Amino acid sequence: MIHSDGFRALDRQECLRLLGKAPVGRVVYTRQALPAVLPVNFSLDADGSVVLCTSAGSDLVRAVDGVVVAFEADDFHAGRRSGWSVVVTGRAAVVTDPVEHERLMRTGPRSWMPLRDGVFVRIESEMVTGRELTGVGAGP
């Protein structure tokens, strides 16, 4: 569906396909009662959940383990005023199951920063929304 205001809503499958191509996304959460956001690399698991790798002792883990967060990725072309964005909203949790942790050690994301105490955090894709900006608004 193309909206008159220049964007098209993306369905879940389109959103997950685009997410799968994005190298970086942003975890959106609340820290000390303030909105917070942290860019991270990630991987998309087979069930559509977002998996990231961070330090067990990080502020991020303390803030998001067990709570609902948003995760955003996008890709825009400023010159053409076009692009897409996807937001996954769902519960985040540290992966504690040893078998699952082991699997993710082989197949999951690697942190871009060296970690002594890496853990995986999974964000369930309970709600997936996205939109494509079709460039209709381009003008002088």
Q: Please count the residues of this chain forming the interface with a copy of itself, following the rule CB under 8 A.
A: 39
Q: Residue 43, interface with a copy of itself (CB under 8 A)?
A: no
Q: Residue 113, interface with a copy of itself (CB under 8 A)?
A: yes
Whichever of 41 and 100 has its CB closer to a copy of itself, that residue is 41
Q: Residue 15, interface with a copy of itself (CB under 8 A)?
A: no
Backbone angles phi, psi at 73, to 5 degrees: -140, 150
Backbone angles phi, psi at 23, to 5 degrees: -80, -25
Q: Residue 35, interface with a copy of itself (CB under 8 A)?
A: yes
- Which one of residues 45, 72, 124, 132 is an interface residue with a copy of itself (CB under 8 A)? 72
Q: How many CB atoms lie within 10 A of CB 115?
A: 15
DSSP character at residue 103: H
Question: Mapped to the 3 state alphabet, what secondary structure does 9-31 carry?
Answer: EECHHHHHHHHCCCCEEEEEEEE
- Residues in contact with a copy of itself by CB under 8 A are 5-7, 23-24, 26, 28-30, 34-39, 41, 68-70, 72, 74, 76, 78, 81, 83, 85, 87, 89, 110-115, 133, 136-139
